[in-house]
A and B are shown apart, each in its own frame.
Chain A
């Protein structure tokens, strides 16, 4: 699975990396962050674009966020 390393990047670069992948139609990818601000931004942009998010604590303040495109049911 595609993994993006956004650790240590200043705001708003982590969320921009995430947004680029969403805009490119990437259905499933992982993003590594070490900043609570970046984490909140990614959570928001993911939810706004119908992605499910899973957060895995990697220790030393690092988190792996797995984003998966949710199938939108239009029925």
Chain B
């Protein structure tokens, strides 16, 4: 069953919180928004996730029970997308072999990553999606534990803003090694407090 939750993003210009909707499943309208509104702003090579094709990702992952997708809508537009895997296990030694929710893909809309004329920029897309991953982890009995491979430009967000543990560059993540971050149950509790 699909669920929606009321969440909030912050309007970059006014500084005010704006009501948004978190969907616990990517739907056709979100894929259409990505194709029609995100893609025109993506310049090749400028961003590490510049060519992510969410339609193909969704069509592949949505057929597998171990994956779940999320989308945030605000101001009539899709503001962020995420796909997670619910059957991965922890690397951090104190929780080794315990399950976590692994964030396969997370992306904010282009106008939330930089100023684009005539598009309202919102803060908090990543924060809300990480909160969703933590909540799913709690619902799955994994006490809020999550893990992910961060795109280089996002390392600071996961380390400093989210308080996740940086386990360093994962050389097994080929051909482009990324830093692997994990959030313990205590860190998840602190984040959600």
To the question of whether A and B form a pair in one complex, the answer is no
Residues of B in contact with A (beta carbons under 8 Å apart):
none
